[in-house]
Structure 1
């Protein structure tokens, strides 16, 4: 689903909220503190941020609240009045001190805490209860799988994997025979692209020599932009866009690419114009997340970063911050100098929200890689 057509999910109780949070994150949190920021005027959820609980033998005062505060302040800077819900997942001795520290930090940043919860063993406790009879000491039981909010989330296409490791596994590079097939297909795709670029370079030189007789200026052999702006270079870029569009149609229909097509697209994404074309076409729709996840997993290391950054853009537009952060980490591990991955890393750290990502990508081109 696109960021402009995100589902409306209703929360009527703390049980609904406890059941919904895993779908906001993309996985079921454990030993975690989750902050959910909510617009005060519309009651719309803006962001969901997860932190590890401090170890049992560590003071909660050492809790690193930087990530939470950056996201809170980023929303406040947009002129949006927000408040927060804090949900701790784990034993009471670790959750309650952590929630207290987090609440104090948010208050100092000008963010009110609507409510604070603890979730464990299929029960939810309200930590700031104003109606004791409604807050039993043994918590309120809830069934996450059948809760109406969770059912609505599943119907809307949201997923909650068992834990964060399970989410990370969805981006693990393919191995074994699948990797060997991709190596062979990538070598073939690189050879084909090299041949076309050589032909385009020759074409560019011929035009340069014909149109600039006696010119002692810059050698077009050394100008990659001139090569791509040649007749064959422009044809290559147009063909690459057509190839990507055909691949997108396959994934939209639920048909993953074969090795040849997957390898060719990951190699062609090295063309800046194709990456930008793909970036401007990203949405938060499930098929796009599936496509770029698949290509990021299958891409050979030199070609992983472009697919991974496109996955991050899709994940951000869908509101899947954890998946976006993992995708950016994959991109930077493959290419620490990838400029767009660096920018995305900073954007995620400052709490960029789905609507902002969509606005940055349209109608003008985004930042070139």
Structure 2
């Protein structure tokens, strides 16, 4: 088995590593916090149709827990189910991804993580949906289902979702009814501004949105980054003597902060008017974002707008990979504000891959996982 994504998450148990759980929330505009989906989930067909609409991609080899408030989806938790099915007596097995396996230890940890998250929502009703072979799904829904019931949660429905058909399962993971999936079905509440919401083919397709550029684009950015490094060395050399003399580097830090503010402002201005950034601009901006104060000064401008997402996605992809984490964090924050949880998670994964100890990435991920009010966080950052 592999990771979980979510929109709240992990802790430890007797398992290989902490198990990440992806949260997804119902459609929302920038800064809004959807406490529930815009409309009710009326039947199994609509439940299946709603999940990818909320997560923004079609789950594969996954276990999904839909948390309901009354008859509306409040949040979606998703966890990977990849690898060989876990059978009786199977050990931790082997798997791919972050701290994952295919046996009872992993499933026990998965059950604990998902149950903890569901309990924090304070809502008694959940639905379980498994994506993948019946053997794989059965092991997961039985283990997780037992943990959820033990915690006092009621499971309204257990469904295994296949390519063309779906099975309603009993608590032991055995099919009791099969029905055909309508691939064109959309939630009845998918209308208005959300009717054109993009649903990606897979989680990998979302991850590709923040992947580093390659080929000629990478070659061009490498050259631009080398030039930017030369400029930065020259800038630091200019202030080296004064730093040694008296001010402890304060003049240099002030200059870097000023240069960073100018670079961020210029990038935002150009992006907002539809102009792309030159390679030199991206390289210089990425270098300056290595200064914490430049990132701090950029935070108040994060508003979840399409322009903000486009800017930081562009910088995340084009920056030297080792320098991409700050831009990825700014992208994650904006995506979260916009209700695009899958993109936010992908950006955080990229940030923590490039810089495992990045404090802003940990903070943004914790805010998302704890279900903090996006609108309140955004107002706090902007001083509103």
TM bucket (normalised to shorter chain) is 0.7 to 0.9
Q: Secondary structure at the match of 2:78?
A: strand
Determine if the alignment matches structure 1 residue 56 to structure 2 residue 85: yes
Q: Secondary structure at the match of 2:324?
A: helix
Question: What pairs up with 1:122-161 in 2 under 5 angstroms?
Answer: 122-127=164-169, 137-143=177-183, 145-149=184-188, 152=191, 155-156=194-195, 158-161=197-200
- Aligned partners of 1:343, 1:73: CA distance in 2, in Å? 20
Partner of 2:60: 30
Instruction: State the TM-score, normalized to the length of structure 1.
Output: 0.75
- In structure 2, the CA distance between the partners of 1:270 and 1:28, relative to structure 1 (3 Å rule), is same
Task: Tell me by how many angstroms 1:147 deviates.
Answer: 2.5
Task: Tell me by how many angstroms 1:250 deviates.
Answer: 3.6
Task: Tell me by how many angstroms 1:261 deviates.
Answer: 2.1
Deviations 1:324-352 (CA, angstroms, capped at 9, x unpaired): 3432332233223323334455666xx33
- Aligned partners of 2:199, 2:114: CA distance in 1, in Å? 22
Question: What pairs up with 1:1-369 in 2 under 5 angstroms?
Answer: 1-4=29-32, 9-10=38-39, 11-40=41-70, 43-52=72-81, 55-56=84-85, 58-59=87-88, 61-64=104-107, 66=109, 69-70=112-113, 72-74=115-117, 76-77=119-120, 80-127=122-169, 137-143=177-183, 145-149=184-188, 152=191, 155-156=194-195, 158-200=197-239, 219-220=246-247, 223-225=248-250, 227-229=252-254, 233=255, 236-344=256-364, 351-353=369-371, 355-356=372-373, 358-360=375-377, 362-363=379-380
Q: Secondary structure at the match of 2:225?
A: helix
Task: Tell me by how many angstroms 1:52 deviates.
Answer: 1.3
Paired positions, count: 336
- Aligned partners of 2:152, 2:299: CA distance in 1, in Å? 35
Contact 2:128–2:157 (CA under 8 A) maintained in structure 1: yes
Task: Tell me by how many angstroms 1:198 deviates.
Answer: 4.1
Q: Identify the range of structure 1 (264-273 vs 46-55) with the bigger mean alpha-carbon deviation.
A: 46-55
Contact 2:129–2:160 (CA under 8 A) maintained in structure 1: yes
- Aligned partners of 2:252, 2:116: CA distance in 1, in Å? 45
- Aligned partners of 1:309, 1:323: CA distance in 2, in Å? 11
Contact 2:305–2:334 (CA under 8 A) maintained in structure 1: yes
Contact 2:332–2:348 (CA under 8 A) maintained in structure 1: yes
Q: Secondary structure at the match of 2:72?
A: coil
- In structure 2, the CA distance between the partners of 1:71 and 1:189, relative to structure 1 (3 Å rule), is farther
Q: CA RMSD in A?
A: 3.6
- In structure 2, the CA distance between the partners of 1:153 and 1:298, relative to structure 1 (3 Å rule), is farther
- Aligned partners of 1:83, 1:255: CA distance in 2, in Å? 48
Contact 2:337–2:378 (CA under 8 A) maintained in structure 1: no
Deviations 1:231-279 (CA, angstroms, capped at 9, x unpaired): xx2xx53453243233224434554322122222212212222211323
- Aligned partners of 1:316, 1:81: CA distance in 2, in Å? 23
Query: Higher helix fraction: Structure 1 or Structure 2?
Result: 1
